[in-house]
Amino acid sequence: MQDTDVEHRLDRAFLALADPVRRRLVARLSRSSATVNELAEPFTMSKQAISKHIQVLEKAGLITRTRDGQRRPCHLAPAALEELTSWIDGYRLVAEARFRALDHVLASMKAADSHDSV
């Protein structure tokens, strides 16, 4: 897989998650699968508006839909969420390493300062 493919998926996913309604939909789907009607219940907007939000999440690869008789439940796509988490984690690990190095420098300076004042 090329880096540009990954970048496009990340761009679509983060753009989709930039909207608070879509984040609430993802949060709801993290508990269990749901139909459009079930997802629309807590919102004051129309089912058509919720459907458009669902389409954005689906195009971003964050959710999938299946057919269960007459029902078309939406499900979270764990692989897409894992890709986002892994991307963020890479930067988190770098930042943590820098903070550990800074802590070490500060501890060394403190130890040297206390040694000098003795």
Distances in Å between the Cα of 21 and the Cα atoms of 66, 71, 78, 91, 96 are 22, 22, 19, 26, 31
Q: What's the pLDDT band for 118 if we cut at 50, 70, 90?
A: low
Q: What is the mean pLDDT of residues 103-116?
A: 81
Average pLDDT, the chain: 90
Is it the case that residue 20 has pLDDT exceeding 60? yes
More confident residue, 56 or 106: 56
Instruction: List the structure tokens of 55.
Output: 């389409």
Is there a contact between 19 and 53 (Cβ–Cβ < 8 Å)?
yes
Q: What is the CATH number of domain 3-116?
A: 1.10.10.10
For the chain, the domains span 3-116
Work out the percent of the chain whose per-residue pLDDT is above 70: 97
